[in-house]
Chain A
Amino acid sequence: MISPIDYFMSADYTMSDKLLEIMYFLLGLISIYVAIRNLQDKTNEKRIGTFIFWFLLGLMFVLGPWIPSMYTGILMFLMVLSPIFKQVKAGSEPSPTQDEMIKNYKKIGFKVFIPALSIGLFALAAALFTSISPLFGMGVGVVVGIILLMIFSKDNKPIVFLKDGRRMLDIVGPLSMLPTLLAALGAVFTTAGVGDVISDLVSVIIPEGNVVIGIIVYAIGMALFTMVMGNAFAAITVMTVGIGAPFVLAYGADPVIIGSLALTCGYCGTLCTPMAANFNIVPVAVLEMKDDYGVIKNQVLIAGIMLVVQIIMMIVLS
């Protein structure tokens, strides 16, 4: 633990890390803004719970790195109570009307693509040309995008971005914390030694030292586990700790290739499962299709081909 002043004065931390800390602090302020706006929103019947959720998240960003991790843990524990008891709800920030969007498009035209692409361009530029984290580059891209939109149209005042940001955060809601919470679960698994137990079990199937079989089991396991749970994020932590690390990475396989492709092997599973309802079942309803599996049936072949392609890449490249 270190005080913020010492941290920013110290030469032991890189410029990139310091810039990221500033960005996380701003992130916290955005979250607190969303909290307060919801608290003031009389039309939001769950405004107290919604406030608590976003406020605690904001606090974790603002204070998190500077207080003992136990307190941050307590904040996280309290934060998830609101969504668990169904006390978080989107406020009443109005969406733009169709007319407004068409009117703005007529005014701005295809130029609207420039700020849209700036986020990714700046992230990429930071990664390629500087030693600063691409995540900070992403933040710079957002600022550049905001400035461009303000130049394109006088209607884009700072408050518009804040209001739209709040509307978007209200829409994504607590479920957007899923990756963060899964990572926390993964950390608990690691502390508990869950990976060792799985690898003991799997070692019965995989002959020791056979990386090729290890890769195949890991890749197919990712796809199957994702199909069962409908979520590759939940699968990647467990499978990597239990199978990827002891049976593939331990024998010197390249962690970049294995780790990166393992995730997309999981996505192949996502393409094949009704459990991923958002992607595979909701469109059936939205498009008024007759066959509940009409989307999945068009994806199975692609998923199968890609799984094979990726297994071959893992074996050949690492």
Chain B
Amino acid sequence: MEILKLLGILIVVIGFVLKLDSILIIMVAAIVTALVSGIDPVTFLETLGSSFVSNRSMCTFIIVLVLTGTLERNGLKQAAADLMAKFKNASSGLIIGIYGIIRLIFGAFNISVGGAASFIRPIVMPMAQAIAEKDGHPINEEYLEQLKGMSSAMDNVAWFFGQVLFVGTSGMLLVQSTLADLGYEVALIDLASVQIPVALIATATAIVYYFIKDKKLAKKYVGGDKA
């Protein structure tokens, strides 16, 4: 029964959907696949071992963490916040866009300056909200909700497409090793350079979209007739 070999994939899908422990899911899927395909325990362990050795590159983040922790201690986040604050005369939508550009650039250098808890809530949202309340009225609730949604979305888009520009990001290392298993040798720098236009288009699209959306919302909810 060849089709039984897909049992491992089924386990991964069901396990992830049910949010079971990820590591448990992966190990169970590996063991079940080995059992139904008649892989003996020695070959199974050898496969795990040689896969680890050839994929050690995926753990190079460990060495980076030795630096990032102390960078934070030395005020990296405060510096980024100060950089943002230089643009306080922009519109709320533009603030979100500027944050996106900063997030993208740092992402391309494998530095995660951002995220909802550490950057959007304490820095981006207060700035965006202050601009929307310039006329002296508290911000409309729906407008505030949309600003929060757009900030987080900008954060994700810029981070996802930014980090793949870094030569040696874990996603591309996985692509490289997957292709190598199939007999295709590719260089990390080439994988990253393919992403340059993608990152530019994605970030530009997001910036323009949120800028226009914010303008429309601002027109609807801020100033004029509600004063």
Give me the interface of A with B, judged by CB distance under 8 Å: 20, 23-24, 26-27, 30-31, 57, 60-61, 64-65, 68-77, 80, 83-84, 96, 100-102, 104-106, 108-110, 112-113, 115-117, 119-121, 123-124, 127-128, 134-135, 137-139, 142, 145-146, 149, 152-153, 156, 160-165, 167-169, 172, 174-194, 196-198, 200, 228-234, 236-238, 240-241, 245, 249, 255-257, 259-264, 267, 270-271, 275, 279-280, 282-284, 286-287, 289-291, 294-295, 297-299, 301-302, 305-306, 309-310, 313, 317
Given contacts A127-B189, A138-B64, A165-B65, contact A295 B71 (CB under 8 A): no
| 26 CB-based A-B contacts, threshold 8 Å | A60-B52, A100-B73, A109-B79, A110-B79, A112-B76, A117-B111, A120-B166, A121-B109, A165-B69, A168-B65, A178-B22, A184-B47, A184-B55, A185-B30, A185-B33, A189-B9, A192-B34, A194-B5, A233-B174, A256-B186, A259-B186, A282-B116, A283-B120, A286-B120, A299-B156, A302-B205
Within 8 A of A (CB), among B42-77: 42-53, 55-77
Is B98 interfacial (CB-CB < 8 Å)? no
Residues of A contacting B: mostly: helix
Is B181 interfacial (CB-CB < 8 Å)? yes
Report yes or no: A26 in contact with B63, Cβ–Cβ below 8 A.
yes
Report yes or no: A188 in contact with B58, Cβ–Cβ below 8 A.
no
Taken together as a complex, chains A and B put the C-alpha atoms of A109 and B74 apart, in Å, by 9
Note all chain B residues with C-beta closer than 8 A to A74. 45, 49
The number of A-B residue pairs with CB atoms under 8 Å apart is: 433
Report yes or no: A187 in contact with B145, Cβ–Cβ below 8 A.
no
What residue in chain B is nearest A110 (Cβ atoms)?
B79
Range of interface residues on chain B? Answer: 35 or more
Taken together as a complex, chains A and B put the C-alpha atoms of A191 and B36 apart, in Å, by 12
What residue in chain B is nearest A192 (Cβ atoms)?
B37
Give me the interface of B with A, judged by CB distance under 8 Å: 2-3, 5-6, 8-9, 12-13, 16-17, 21-24, 26-27, 29-30, 33-34, 36-37, 39, 42-53, 55-79, 82-83, 106, 108-111, 113, 116-117, 120-121, 125, 145-146, 148-153, 155-157, 160-161, 164, 166-168, 170-179, 181-182, 184, 186-192, 194-195, 197-198, 201-202, 205-206, 209-210
Given contacts A105-B74, A164-B66, A301-B209, contact A189 B33 (CB under 8 A): yes
A291 to chain B, nearest CB (A): 7
Taken together as a complex, chains A and B put the C-alpha atoms of A245 and B197 apart, in Å, by 24
Note all chain A residues with C-beta closer than 8 A to B44. 73, 188
Note all chain B residues with C-beta closer than 8 A to A267. 160-161, 164
